[in-house]
């Protein structure tokens, strides 16, 4: 395995780990939501809204690219892709579930830091 492929694989593994952690954070937010105060609930609402907008843009761009150039394999595939496992190397991809969770987590962390809620 050459150095470029190894760097790509390490980056991919880091993304998968962050995706799994992000999915766990979303589950934690859902189960602890009733315990949050007004400010924490506001951050969750703002995060959900902004995440939705970002995800719609990403999926729209992905759809346009796949219509324009169908032979181009994208890094992200839908959860119900022909390759069902959450991550594989045929082709190397991240399922949209993990991508969505990562985007939610990044926006949530930024909003929490901005509102000094840690």
pLDDT digits (tens, 9 = 90+) for 33-89: 889 888 888 888 988 899 889 888 887 877 777 677 766 655 555 444 444 444 455
> What is the rounded distance in angstroms from the CA atom of residue 97 to the CA atom of residue 68?
24
Answer whether 28's CB lies under 8 Å from 44's CB: no
Q: pTM to 2 decimals? A: 0.64
Number of domains forming the structure of the chain: 1
SS3 state of residue 89: strand
Pairing label, strands 76-77, 94-95: parallel
pLDDT digits (tens, 9 = 90+) for 86-104: 445 555 555 677 778 888 8
State which residues form the domain around 74. Answer: 3-114
> What is the rounded distance in angstroms from the CA atom of residue 107 to the CA atom of residue 110?
5
């Amino acid at each position: 395995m050459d150095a470029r492929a190894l760097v790509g694989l390490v980056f991919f593994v880091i993304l998968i780990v962050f995706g799994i952690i992000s999915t766990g954070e979303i589950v934690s937010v859902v189960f602890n939501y009733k315990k949050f105060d007004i400010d924490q609930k506001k951050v969750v609402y703002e995060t959900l809204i902004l995440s939705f907008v970002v995800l719609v843009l990403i999926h729209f761009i992905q759809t346009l690219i796949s219509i324009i150039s169908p032979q181009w394999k994208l890094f992200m595939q839908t959860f119900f892709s022909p390759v069902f496992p959450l991550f594989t190397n045929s082709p190397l991809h991240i399922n949209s579930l993990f991508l969505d969770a990562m985007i939610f987590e990044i926006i949530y962390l930024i909003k929490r830091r901005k509102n000094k809620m840690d």
